[in-house]
Structure 1
Amino acid sequence: MLAVVQQTLAITAPVFAMLFLGVLLKRLRWIDDPFIDTASSLVFRGTMPTLLFISIVQADLSTALQPALIGYFVFATVASFALAWLWSIWRCPKVDRGIYTQGAFRGNNGIVGLALATSMFGDYGLSVGAVLGGIVILCYNVLSAIVLNIYAPGMKADPWSLCKSIFTNPLIIGVLSAIPVAYWKVPLPHWTMVSAEYFAQMTLPLALICIGGTLSLASLRESSAMAVSSSLMKMVWLPFLATIGAWALGFRGADLAILFLYLGSPTAASSFVMARAVNGNYQLAAAIIVITTLAAVVTTNVGLLLLQWAGWV
């Protein structure tokens, strides 16, 4: 178990380093609000769609394709989204419900979940995790686009406007354009892929620096109650319910552990980028990311310990 603790810290520590770098750069006035606006827009419109495209194109969709596992993961994701949304109606002011819901269900599978699954289960964890991640990316972005546009200031919530917001979302365009390329294994020029990887590698550090640049003690205090509530949903209640459900349906061993790692991943940095793109409460989104990333060091290891103690993995 000590090895898992060290692995979790090794994954989350660089995330915190980039967050605090953003705080420091803002204090030193090396970056300012106009830079954060421009950089966030670049991530949302350019680097993150490119990253999603590359991750799907490079994944072998025919490897470790397990319909039951994929089906349950998608079901658990949609159910978590629905529960978080219902809870937000009771818990949050209307304007913050979209941010709260996205923070409570959207996990950082590509960084934390996949790395831990690979560390624990080797090639099997990598192949299964890559397929799960590639498929759920579309779910995350569609569901987030719906709930954010319903509650975003000045946005229309009629069916046509929602469909337009979904299919013009750069993240969803990146995913949809990658699926046929990956499925039919369309060869792309080597130089194009290398250039795209250079561009995509800016995504996580730039997004985390922007998140750090928006953090302040005042904004953390203002959003603390909602951020903690959404974080508890993301890191404790929803993973617990979904993991128990997976066990009840017969999942055991590596499959159950991978489901837990993915469902219990901290909130993805892309939630901040999408919140800022729709002029939502991005300070709340940033606070949820910070809290869930810190909590992952504890909840991931406690969850795995309990699963092993019960003899389920």
Structure 2
Amino acid sequence: METALFFQVFTVTGPVFAMLIAGVYLRKARLINDAFIATASNLSFRALMPTLLFFSILQADLDTALQLDLIGYFYLVTLLTFGWAWLWSLKRVPVRDRGVYVQGAFRGNCGIIGLALAASQYGVYGLSTGGVIAGIGIVLFNVLSVVVLGIYSPTFESDIKSVLSNLARNPLILSVLAGLLASWVGLGLPEWVMVSGDYFASMTLPLALVCIGGSLSLGSLVDSGRLAISASLIKVLWTPALFTVIAWLIGFEGRDLGMLYLFLASPTAAVSYVMARAAGSDGKLAANIIAISTVFSMVTIMFGLYLLEHYGLI
């Protein structure tokens, strides 16, 4: 029974992490390089992922995709984790590193890894509902990241106007809003358009996951440091463990509880490195947090899903 449960959990997490590992080895074998990763990541962000989110939300029932209680709780946890990590950093993290540390501890890779896990576990429901959570979550992630990096960076200013401008042009946010609007008005598209969209969108998650794997630096695991490990543990262990239990206590159950866990347990987003570099902060620390949290999450997500399945909570 326990072995069967383990393999059930592995069928959810295995394919996702296999793509990450494939990216690592493809990079090592020089079948992909920085130029490929940059181009493919840009394609995923600007075209593939928006298409996936739009069609998954369009084809879902709007009452099912727009789960305000899930979105509200996810937002609340994000804010609490942000505050918790910031308070924790005040006495334990050098001033110059606090912005990078806090961002690494709260900003999850929901748009790729979280969404891929949700789709693997819950199919269409995971894609549509997860797409809404990820798309709307980007707004809060960006605002909080700009605030904390701006405070601790000598060269980066928290310009609210530029933040709002970037959010208004974000392809993921726009695709989620377009999908919700199209679903609400009952937009019908020709069958050939739907099939073509599905073909195009099907490339999204494998390609994005391979790019993340290819961008990971295994050297970062050796040169990790206390701060990177600490931020990673907050992101993939303490936050999902604590707030998944609280979610269960206040009434979340079944696939909703499972969705919350998968998104809360997702490792640090790769874009946090870009944000840190743009802020003139320690890019090496940001890269270390991304690498370590991703590797740690391979264990913590599987173990957490196993416990949730074992006790019949999801």
TM-score by length of 2: 0.77
Check 1:44–1:276 CA distance in 2 against 1; reply closer, same or farther (3 A cut). farther
Check 1:18–1:277 CA distance in 2 against 1; reply closer, same or farther (3 A cut). farther
Check 1:45–1:187 CA distance in 2 against 1; reply closer, same or farther (3 A cut). same
Equivalent residue number for residue 298 of structure 1: 303
| 8 A Cα contact 2:53 2:127, kept in partner | no
Q: SS at 1:62's partner residue?
A: helix
Q: Which amino acid aligns with 1:111?
A: A
Q: Shift of the alpha carbon at 1:299?
A: 2.6
Q: Shift of the alpha carbon at 1:85?
A: 5.1
1:79-94 matches, within 5 Å, as: 79-84=80-85, 86-87=87-88, 91=93, 93-94=97-98
Q: Shift of the alpha carbon at 1:49?
A: 1.6
Report whether the alignment pairs 1:219 with 2:220.
yes
1:232-251 matches, within 5 Å, as: 232-249=233-250, 251=251
Percentage of identical aligned residues: 35
Q: Which whole-Å CA distance do the structure 2 matches of 1:43 and 1:95 have between them?
A: 27
Equivalent residue number for residue 143 of structure 1: 140
Q: Which whole-Å CA distance do the structure 2 matches of 1:198 and 1:275 have between them?
A: 31
| 8 A Cα contact 2:50 2:176, kept in partner | yes
Q: Which whole-Å CA distance do the structure 2 matches of 1:139 and 1:195 have between them?
A: 26
Report whether the alignment pairs 1:100 with 2:98.
no
| 8 A Cα contact 2:235 2:267, kept in partner | yes
Q: Which whole-Å CA distance do the structure 2 matches of 1:246 and 1:210 have between them?
A: 32
Question: RMSD of the alignment, in Å?
Answer: 3.4
Q: Which amino acid aligns with 1:267?
A: P
Q: Which amino acid aligns with 2:306?
A: N
Check 1:286–1:235 CA distance in 2 against 1; reply closer, same or farther (3 A cut). closer
Deviations 1:127-146 (A, max 9, x none): 5x566424322332112222
Equivalent residue number for residue 181 of structure 1: 182
Q: Which amino acid aligns with 2:231?
A: S
Q: Which whole-Å CA distance do the structure 2 matches of 1:186 and 1:221 have between them?
A: 52
Deviations 1:75-130 (A, max 9, x none): 33443444345546654714524650454584844332454357xxxxxxx65x56
Q: Shift of the alpha carbon at 1:245?
A: 2.6
Q: Which moved more, 1:104-113 or 1:214-223?
A: 104-113
Q: Shift of the alpha carbon at 1:204?
A: 1.7
Equivalent residue number for residue 121 of structure 1: none
In structure 2, stretches of 5+ residues that fail to align are none
Task: Choose from 282, 287, 308 the match for 1:283.
Answer: 287
Q: Which moved more, 1:275-284 or 1:201-210?
A: 275-284
1:257-276 matches, within 5 Å, as: 257-258=257-258, 261-267=261-267, 271-272=269-270, 275-276=273-274
Equivalent residue number for residue 54 of structure 2: 53
Equivalent residue number for residue 123 of structure 1: none
Q: Which amino acid aligns with 1:180?
A: L
Q: Which amino acid aligns with 2:254?
A: A
TM-score by length of 1: 0.77
Deviations 1:147-183 (A, max 9, x none): 4444388764211111112111221122122110122
In structure 1, stretches of 5+ residues that fail to align are 119-125
Check 1:22–1:161 CA distance in 2 against 1; reply closer, same or farther (3 A cut). same
Count of aligned pairs: 298
Deviations 1:61-81 (A, max 9, x none): 224876555544443344344
Equivalent residue number for residue 33 of structure 1: 34
Deviations 1:205-260 (A, max 9, x none): 222222222233322333454443333223332223323333443x1653674365
Q: Which whole-Å CA distance do the structure 2 matches of 1:86 and 1:105 have between them?
A: 23
Q: SS at 2:62's partner residue?
A: coil
Check 1:78–1:179 CA distance in 2 against 1; reply closer, same or farther (3 A cut). farther
Q: SS at 2:270's partner residue?
A: helix
| 8 A Cα contact 1:23 1:214, kept in partner | yes
Report whether the alignment pairs 1:230 with 2:231.
yes
Task: Choose from 103, 109, 115 the match for 1:110.
Answer: 115
Q: Which amino acid aligns with 1:300?
A: L
Q: Which moved more, 1:88-97 or 1:181-190?
A: 88-97
